[in-house]
């Protein structure tokens, strides 16, 4: 159950500072036990290098000397600025794991270049973008399915550059488009605790009826391009958005804006960013409780949830017609908003924000029925009740719920996955298999790039996304015990989502080079996860001693209580600890941890 609103805003249960005993990059432990190089460790280091090399070649192919994307730049939810911004997806996460500094350099260059490109790009028929598709370096007016996708790289810059003043200034500015602090972008109504429209951005909310042109962009001939939804005419492109008109009022996808508040706070911004994010998320939690445990998909401009709680673009009852087929397609995107409730967990330490989703899944499964002899659960809700029945129980977001709670009652809904089997001791070969799969993924993307015959005049901004070779999934899982929420989804129970920060059990820093990620030659493997315990092996494959700092979580949100190695326990009682690893040595460590007890911070351990 979520704690009292005033209590979680006060956050008295969360430690706001790093204990003095844990500060500084000194080595608390020394690993001096020689070990044969594990194959997973050798593959891990090679995969980091292969990613960097493939990404650099990808950059040379699709980005020009101005750091602009070489595409036919246009506005639209299908192929607009958000897709261009996704060009470097996962590059910054790879850098934060210990990848090449070139990934940081190229990501930074590209981000600046694409801002210039889409600030200069203008529409003729879309009113909001006639003066530029970006205004004040942010999309002028779009929904948060697409805004969050476009922020995928931006939202993780802080993992590697937490002291960059430009990053902090931008993050604060972007967040204040939604806190109600910036009068030029009146997206947020603080009295009613709503973002006022599905379409919003640096030029404020759209409060009129949206047209298909607002969503699809100016007229163009789609035939020379790959079209994600298979349109062959501009009229079909408009038809895709024929039922996207009613945008005034709040929608749970808007909760993704709280990631900006989380980052602004964690980068050292004011307490008000934390208060705003928790107040807004708390309002939606209250609405879900009042709505019988179901997160509503529509809140009116008066801040109220009515009997039509299921309506709205991307809502529970959103099943528009596909113009190419004449059939309706279910496009309920409410489940994606669970990642915003992770923001609330980080900022408050209150697991009730995740228990809410457990209750929602229970309520949906209570509406299950037999369809054609098969037990099935609904995925949609409209004027006539539940619909969109699919075989089996409703398990959407089941893995994300269990990952946060680590509760036994949530384990079944998480389903089975080779990584879970490894963590539970049932699939010892998974690390090597997962890394080798990512090597194949890189090779396939490199081959696709080399075979690509499109030109800037025949490719849209979304075209390179399926050629981007960056492969971080296995490394996030194996090195950090992390939840890599990405687009497309990594597991059948996970909703696809962009713009989600890195959620992980452990994070690493190079104490000598003073940068994010494991030092050169170091490899890490998380063997098991539990509510109060984590097991990890650290190995030095090189010929020089290295000092790695191990932190509890991406944000230092988990307290490391103690570390046990070779039967000896060392008390830590802090966010992180340092380990000196001698050449050719390695060891398995057992960490006793208390999760989600520290306020999130992106500051490096030696800051």
Give 477-514 pLDDT, tens digit per residue. Answer: 999 999 988 766 656 667 667 899 999 999 999 999 99
- The DSSP call for residue 150 is H
Per-residue pLDDT band for 22 (boundaries 50, 70, 90) equals: very low
Q: What integer is the mean pLDDT of 127-136?
A: 98
Give 417-445 pLDDT, tens digit per residue. Answer: 999 999 999 999 999 999 999 999 999 99
pLDDT over 70 at 162, yes or no: yes
CATH code given to domain 1-31+505-607: 2.60.40.1180
What is the rounded CA–CA span in Å between residue 526 and residue 508? 12
Distance between the two ends of the chain, CA-based, in angstroms?
Answer: 36
Give 292-323 pLDDT, tens digit per residue. Answer: 999 999 999 999 999 999 999 999 999 999 99
Average pLDDT of the chain to the nearest whole number: 95
The reported pLDDT for the residue numbered 1 is: 45
Residues in CB range of 444: below 8 A, 6 or more apart: none
Tell the burial category of 65 from Cβ atoms under 10 Å away from its Cβ (0-12, 13-18, 19+). exposed
Judge whether 80 and 133 are in contact, CB under 8 Å. Answer: yes
pLDDT over 50 at 254, yes or no: yes
Beta bridge partners of 135: 138
pLDDT over 80 at 122, yes or no: yes
pLDDT over 80 at 26, yes or no: no
Tokens of 12: 């008295």
Nearest to 396 by CA among 298, 294, 470: 294
Q: What integer is the mean pLDDT of 72-101?
A: 97
Provide the 3-class DSSP secondary structure of residue 95: helix
In sequence order, what E strands does 179-258 have? 188-189, 194-195
The reported pLDDT for the residue numbered 498 is: 85
Instruction: Tell me the torsion sign for CA atoms 482, 488, 489, 491.
Output: negative
Tokens of 169: 């200034």
Which run of H or of E encompasses 480? helix 473-480
- The DSSP call for residue 496 is P
- The DSSP call for residue 570 is E
Portion of the chain with pLDDT greater than 90, in percent: 92
pLDDT over 60 at 6, yes or no: no
The reported pLDDT for the residue numbered 58 is: 98
The reported pLDDT for the residue numbered 14 is: 73
pTM > 0.85? yes
Cα-Cα-Cα-Cα torsion 53, 59, 65, 70, nearest 10 degrees, comes to 160
Nearest to 51 by CA among 439, 430, 431, 434: 439
What is the rounded CA–CA span in Å between residue 506 and residue 550? 7
pLDDT over 90 at 21, yes or no: no
Beta bridge partners of 578: 549
Where are the chain's structural domains?
1-31+505-607, 162-171+251-415
């Amino acid at each position: 159950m979520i704690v009292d609103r005033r209590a979680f805003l006060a956050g008295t249960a969360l430690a706001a500072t790093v204990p003095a005993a844990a500060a500084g990059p000194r080595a608390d432990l020394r690993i001096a036990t020689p070990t044969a190089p594990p194959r997973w460790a050798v593959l891990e280091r090679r995969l980091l290098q292969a990613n960097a090399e493939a990404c650099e070649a990808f950059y040379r192919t699709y980005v020009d000397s101005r750091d602009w994307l070489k595409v036919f730049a246009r506005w639209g939810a299908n192929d607009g600025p958000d897709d261009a911004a996704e060009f470097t997806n996962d590059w910054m996460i790879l850098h934060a794991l210990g990848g090449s500094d070139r990934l940081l350099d190229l990501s930074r260059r590209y981000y600046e270049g694409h801002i210039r490109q889409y600030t200069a790009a203008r529409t003729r028929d879309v009113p909001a973008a006639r003066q530029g598709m970006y205004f004040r370096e942010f999309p002028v007016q779009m929904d948060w399915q697409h805004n969050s996708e476009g922020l995928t790289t931006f939202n993780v810059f802080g993992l590697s550059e937490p002291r960059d003043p430009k990053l902090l200034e931008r993050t604060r500015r972007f967040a204040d488009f939604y806190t109600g602090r910036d009068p030029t972008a009146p997206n947020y109504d603080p009295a009613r605790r709503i973002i006022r429209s599905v379409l919003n951005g640096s030029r404020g909310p759209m409060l009129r009826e949206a047209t298909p042109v607002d969503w699809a962009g100016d007229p163009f001939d789609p035939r020379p391009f790959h079209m994600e939804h298979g349109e062959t005419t501009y009229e079909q492109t408009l038809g895709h958005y024929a039922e996207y008109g009613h945008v005034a009022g709040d929608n749970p996808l808007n909760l993704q804006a709280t990631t900006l508040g989380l980052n602004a706070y964690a980068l050292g911004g004011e307490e008000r960013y934390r208060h705003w994010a928790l107040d807004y998320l708390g309002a939606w939690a209250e609405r879900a409780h009042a709505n019988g445990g179901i997160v509503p998909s529509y809140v009116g401009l008066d801040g109220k949830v009515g009997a039509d709680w299921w309506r709205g673009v991307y809502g529970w009852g959103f099943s528009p017609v596909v113009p190419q087929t004449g059939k309706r397609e279910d496009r309920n995107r409410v489940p994606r908003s669970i990642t915003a409730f992770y923001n609330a967990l980080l900022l408050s330490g209150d697991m009730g924000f995740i228990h809410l989703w457990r209750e929602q899944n229970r309520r949906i499964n209570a509406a299950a029925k037999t369809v054609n002899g098969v037990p099935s659960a609904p995925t949609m809700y409209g004027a006539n009740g539940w619909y969109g029945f699919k075989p089996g129980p409703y398990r959407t977001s089941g893995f994300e719920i269990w990952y946060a709670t680590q509760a036994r009652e949530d384990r079944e809904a998480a389903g089975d996955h080779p990584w879970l089997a490894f963590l539970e001791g049932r699939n010892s070969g998974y690390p090597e298999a997962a890394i080798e799969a990512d090597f194949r993924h890189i090779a396939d993307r490199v081959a696709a790039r080399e075979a690509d015959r499109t030109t800037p005049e025949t490719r849209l901004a979304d075209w390179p996304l399926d050629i981007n070779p960056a492969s971080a999934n296995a490394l996030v899982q194996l090195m950090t015990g992390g939840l890599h929420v990405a687009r497309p989804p990594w597991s059948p129970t996970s909703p696809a989502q962009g713009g989600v920060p890195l959620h992980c059990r452990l994070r690493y820093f190079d104490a000598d080079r003073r940068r994010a990620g494991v030092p050169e030659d170091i490899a890490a493997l998380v063997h098991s996860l539990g509510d109060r315990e984590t097991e990890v092996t650290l190995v030095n494959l090189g010929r020089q001693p290295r000092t790695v700092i191990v932190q509890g979580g991406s944000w230092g949100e988990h307290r490391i209580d103690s570390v046990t190695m070779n039967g000896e326990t060392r008390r830590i009682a802090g966010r992180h600890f340092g380990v000196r690893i001698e050449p050719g040595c390695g060891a398995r460590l057992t960490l006793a941890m208390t999760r989600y007890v520290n306020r999130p911070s992106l500051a490096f351990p030696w800051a």
